[in-house]
């Protein structure tokens, strides 16, 4: 069952203060084409680049951004380059996927020290990166699967992204922004019986708390089920729901993800907007494909959620879902997977008071996902 958020701990107890999500880095097979997709479809602007032209011989990285959302698309350049072998292995095993959820901190060294002392496995000891724009400090720890958290300290850096990158100052004639503002949350899928292990990791190693909890009675259909716990940091700027499969008649969406991703990883990224109707309309016009729920979902919607500001017929036309809690309501919609493998997808969300995650929409959403699974032969 869903549990209400626990109270935030006092600020002085937060040993890992986070300012928010700094960026999300993907390892991809072709970074130039991936960057073009996010520019053309999601309206992100190309703002920085690193590659052979900037002195980076083994890889190329494109940084695309919209408001506070920043994605880094990285690809290796030489198949026999031992330095970048981890990138090759990541792409070969997972396909295009999230490798690095980078968190913005005031002290990257302290973040590394506090987390590794509490049991995290360090993968990048604190390092100072410098160029003509100043210095940035970076460190990193391992989390589930082949995913990591980097800690990014940039208070003494004034460059376009990080040292080693150059600004792309030319007007981006491809990107047409759609009103996306920031990352609301990021969801990780882990294996059978692994959810509580990673809940404890975020609680004990990173100082997060349990924000909400959904069990297999909340998130189930006739055929499949899953369980999820949402972890949040002290100031609620960073939220990580963690999913695991639950017993069902057929293969759940989490099992399908784990099979095709070959292990735990980031399932979806939720991006916030102030006007979901306008944002989704633009995304559809630019080629982004969304999951659809049956028209019957909207027949009882107003009775279930009460009066809302948005026109019901427009929500139905776009396929936008609505849910309400005791603090307000929220609107959300989910894309189809953006890779050929049925792994990563995106959520667009608008919060109008609600701090929840759309419990009332779970059944309709997962039935829509199951229809997609059935078409792929994976249900």
- End position of a domain, from candidates 139, 167, 195: 167
- End position of a domain, from candidates 167, 189, 216: 167
pLDDT given at position 364: 62
- Residues 53 and 194 placed together within one structural domain of the fold: no
The pTM assigned to this predicted structure is 0.91
- End position of a domain, from candidates 140, 167, 194: 167
What domain range is 273 assigned to?
180-376
- Residues 259 and 160 placed together within one structural domain of the fold: no
Backbone torsion region of residue 119, taken as left when φ is above 0, otherwise alpha when ψ lies between -120 and 50, otherwise beta: left
In a domain, 4, yes or no: no
- Residues 55 and 160 placed together within one structural domain of the fold: yes
In a domain, 194, yes or no: yes
CATH code of the domain in which 44 resides = 3.10.180.10
In a domain, 9, yes or no: no
- Residues 253 and 317 placed together within one structural domain of the fold: yes
What domain count does the chain have?
2
pLDDT given at position 370: 64
pLDDT given at position 375: 67
- Residues 151 and 192 placed together within one structural domain of the fold: no
Measured CA angle at 269 (ends 315, 300), to 5 deg: 25
In a domain, 98, yes or no: yes
pLDDT given at position 254: 86
**pLDDT tens sequence for the chain (379 residues):** 344 444 444 445 799 999 999 999 999 999 999 999 999 999 999 999 999 999 888 899 999 999 999 999 999 998 777 777 889 999 999 999 999 999 999 999 999 999 999 999 999 999 999 999 999 999 999 999 999 999 999 999 999 999 999 999 888 999 999 999 999 999 999 999 999 999 999 999 999 999 987 655 555 555 446 678 999 999 999 999 998 887 665 667 888 899 999 999 999 999 999 999 999 999 999 999 998 888 888 888 888 889 999 999 999 999 999 988 889 999 999 999 999 999 999 999 999 999 887 665 666 655 655 666 666 676 5
- Residues 239 and 144 placed together within one structural domain of the fold: no
pLDDT given at position 216: 52
pLDDT given at position 292: 86
In a domain, 174, yes or no: no
pLDDT given at position 368: 59
- Residues 19 and 42 placed together within one structural domain of the fold: yes
In a domain, 175, yes or no: no
- Residues 116 and 259 placed together within one structural domain of the fold: no
pLDDT given at position 223: 47
In a domain, 85, yes or no: yes
pLDDT given at position 224: 46
- Residues 333 and 255 placed together within one structural domain of the fold: yes
In a domain, 340, yes or no: yes
- Residues 197 and 148 placed together within one structural domain of the fold: no
- Residues 48 and 122 placed together within one structural domain of the fold: yes
- Residues 119 and 228 placed together within one structural domain of the fold: no
Sign of the Cα pseudo-torsion (52, 56, 58, 59, in order)? negative
């Amino acid at each position: 069952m869903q549990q209400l958020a626990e109270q935030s701990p006092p600020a002085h107890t937060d040993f890992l203060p986070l300012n928010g999500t700094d960026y999300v880095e993907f390892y991809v097979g072709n970074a130039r084409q991936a960057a073009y997709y996010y520019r053309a479809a999601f309206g992100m602007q190309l703002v920085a680049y690193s590659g052979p032209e900037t002195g980076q011989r083994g890889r190329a990285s494109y940084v695309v951004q919209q408001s506070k959302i920043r994605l880094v698309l990285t690809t290796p350049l030489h198949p026999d380059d031992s330095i970048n072998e981890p990138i090759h292995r990541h792409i070969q095993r997972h396909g295009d996927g999230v490798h690095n959820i980078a968190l913005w901190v005031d002290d990257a060294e302290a973040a590394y020290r506090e987390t590794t002392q509490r049991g995290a496995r360090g993968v990048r000891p604190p390092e100072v990166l410098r160029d003509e724009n100043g210095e940035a400090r970076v460190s990193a720890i391992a989390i589930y699967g082949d995913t990591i958290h980097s800690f990014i300290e940039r208070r003494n850096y004034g460059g376009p992204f990080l040292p080693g990158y150059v600004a792309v100052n030319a007007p981006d004639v491809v990107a047409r922004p759609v009103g996306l503002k920031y990352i609301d949350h990021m969801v990780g899928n882990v294996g059978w019986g692994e959810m509580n292990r990673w809940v404890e990791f975020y609680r004990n190693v990173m100082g997060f708390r349990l924000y909400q909890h959904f069990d297999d009675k909340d998130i189930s259909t006739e055929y499949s089920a899953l369980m999820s716990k949402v972890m949040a940091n002290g100031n609620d700027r960073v939220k990580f729901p963690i999913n695991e499969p639950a017993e069902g008649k057929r293969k759940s969406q989490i099992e399908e993800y784990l099979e095709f991703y070959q292990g735990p990883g980031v399932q979806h990224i939720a991006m916030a907007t102030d006007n979901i109707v306008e944002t989704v309309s633009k995304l559809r016009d630019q080629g982004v494909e969304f999951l659809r729920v049956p028209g019957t979902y909207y027949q009882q919607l107003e009775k279930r959620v009460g009066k809302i500001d948005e026109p019901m017929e427009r929500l139905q036309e776009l396929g936008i879902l609505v849910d309400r809690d005791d603090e307000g309501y929220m609107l959300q919609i989910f894309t189809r997977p953006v890779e050929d493998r049925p792994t990563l997808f995106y959520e667009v969300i608008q919060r109008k008071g609600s701090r929840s995650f759309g419990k009332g929409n779970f059944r309709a959403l997962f039935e829509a996902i199951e229809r997609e699974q059935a078409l792929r032969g994976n249900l």
